[in-house]
Amino acid sequence: MEWETVIGLEVHAQLQTKSKIFSSASTAYGAEPNTQACNVDLALPGVLPVMNQEAARMAVKFGLAIGAKVNKRSVFARKNYFYPDLPKGYQISQFELPIVGLGKMVINIDGKEKVVGITRAHLEEDAGKSLHEDFQGMTGVDLNRAGTPLLEIVSEPDMRSSKEAVAYLKKVHELVRYLEICDGNMQEGSFRCDANVSVRPKGQKEFGTRAELKNINSFRFVEKAIEIEIERQIDVIESGGKVVQETRLYDSVKDTTRSMRSKEEANDYRYFPDPDLPPMVLDDETIEAVRKTLPELPDAKRTRFIKEYGLTNYDAGVLTSTRALADYYESVCSHVKDNAKLAANWVSGELSAFLNKESKDITESPVSAGQLASLLNRIEDQTISGKIAKDVFEAMWASEGSVDEIIDKKGLKQITDSGAIEKIIDDVLAANNVQVEQYKNGQEKVFGFFVGQVMKASKGKANPGQVNEMLKKKLASA
Ligand code: ADP
Ligand code: MG
């Protein structure tokens, strides 16, 4: 039997407000446990939540960016359940009336566009954290995270493969970072995802029963977790069993999913409007003010980069992956004339490799956009070759000085004096009679050997174009 996979994702993006969604406690990551949980977060009797308006504006920003319906009136509801890291006994979330309604995201799969529907995006508070590792036979509870604002972005069950799910997740990740509403840090849990997965016989209309996969904290694990869950469900059905609706945990060490609990239905949560919080009402002015803060969005930027800088789809995608990288690239381009392609190669090549190696962000690059541009200008005006430029770049990275200082100090200036190059070529040919004979007998491959020898003798400084040209002439008359 041929099976079709159906996937819907629930993404939890921590909104990067300074204080919590209903209290003034700090949201900063990494503090001593329970030092950032105030009376509201601890659910002491008599305290009242006060809505953080910045969190609402961030949710609206997301809604506008995906062309969704922004609800001018939304309602906070209590989602009741018991867990040690939830001192109130309920989570404040939004249920029937979320702040963001229907919208969509467009993903790109093998060059083809696909629309993924967004059901809703709602505001809610995060719970605390249970700490199992630090305590023998006990569990610690850290409530620093309790009350951190989350935007839960719920997709329609529109994805049909793990690959589509990852593409969608990356797209959402890129967008929330562009909008500067979430830092996207998956290790710290600021961007998390639950994947709902089901299978059905190909051609069947109704969806199969889904399992919800939790505990997936990287793009790679999303893909793997979905893949093994698909296999598991197909196995269950093909061996005569039934998939049960449940929550499963992904174990990245064992590469399996295991059952955590049977899935509650919404009515088990006894949702009801929170009497402590009035409905949230947004006026047009607020929404329009938020609209004005929208940056150029990733898709628009990519299209513009392709047009304006003549980049390939791929290069434009790499260079617009974050706003900071795109800004850096544009800044380099503004300093190099008509050489956007060279700039693209260097930013996505050499520079990115160095950043990766040291796990640095583009904003931490020791080589500024202006400095990189001066280096590219020295390639362009033939002061140095592209190859030597890599050595200069390495020295710039180590803060050894400006481009020109490094070129001077290390004597890296390109040799373009044809007399000097000719002299080197003559020496190389004289010292390699055997190869000269081979070349004359038709072994053209030896040409590369000569180029290599000449470059080596010049310590990489001879102008490669001139070397090629002069070598050809010399050999023809040798
Ligand atoms: P809950 O709040 O219980 O998690 P929802 O109805 O809000 O349930 O659905 C959550 C997610 O599950 C959504 O992203 C939705 O697209 C997805 N989903 C619903 N039904 C299926 C299904 N049969 N297969 C895969 N995903 C599904
Ligand atoms: Mg869910």
> Is residue 117 within 6 Å of ligand 1 at its C-beta?
no
Answer whether 432's CB lies under 8 Å from 450's CB: yes
- Atom 13 of ligand 1, nearest CA residue: 8
3-state DSSP call for residue 304? Answer: helix
- Name the CA dihedral angle for 387, 393, 394, 396, rounded to a multiple of 10 degrees: 150
DSSP 59-126: HHHHHHHTTPPBPSEE-EEEEE---TT-TTSEEEEE-SS-SB-SEEEEEEETTEEEEEEEEEEEEEE-
Instruction: Please identify every stretch of the chain with a pLDDT value under 50, giving residue numbers as ranges.
Output: none
Query: Could you tell me if the CB of 196 is within 6 A of ligand 1?
Result: yes
| First CA to last CA distance, the chain | 71
Single-letter residue type at 172: V
Q: How high is the pLDDT of residue 441?
A: 87
Which atom of ligand 1 is nearest to 196's Cα?
Answer: 26
Atom of ligand 1 nearest to the CA of 209: 23
| Cα–Cα distance measured from residue 300 to residue 312, given in angstroms and rounded to the nearest whole number | 15
Rounded CA Rg of the chain = 30
Q: Is the CB of 8 under 6 A from ligand 1?
A: yes
pLDDT of residue 419: 84
Mutating to test ligand 1, I would choose from 160, 161, 210 the residue with most ligand atoms within 8 A of its C-beta, which is 210
Tell me how far apart the alpha carbons of residues 400 and 405 are, in angstroms, rounded to a whole number: 8
pLDDT value at residue 18: 97
Ligand nearest to the backbone CA of 6 = 1
Work out the burial of residue 172: count CB atoms within 10 Å of its CB; fewer than 13 is exposed, 13-18 middle, 19 or more buried: buried
Show Cβ contacts of residue 50 under 8 Å, excluding neighbours closer than 6 positions: 22, 23
Nearest CA to ligand 1 atom 19: 157
> How far is ligand 1, taken at its centre, from the CA of residue 89, in Å?
24
Q: Is 244 buried (19+), middle (13-18) or exposed (0-12) by CB count in 10 A? A: exposed
Looking at residue 386, its pLDDT comes to 87
Probe ligand 1: pick from 11, 12, 154, max atoms within 8 Å of CB? 154
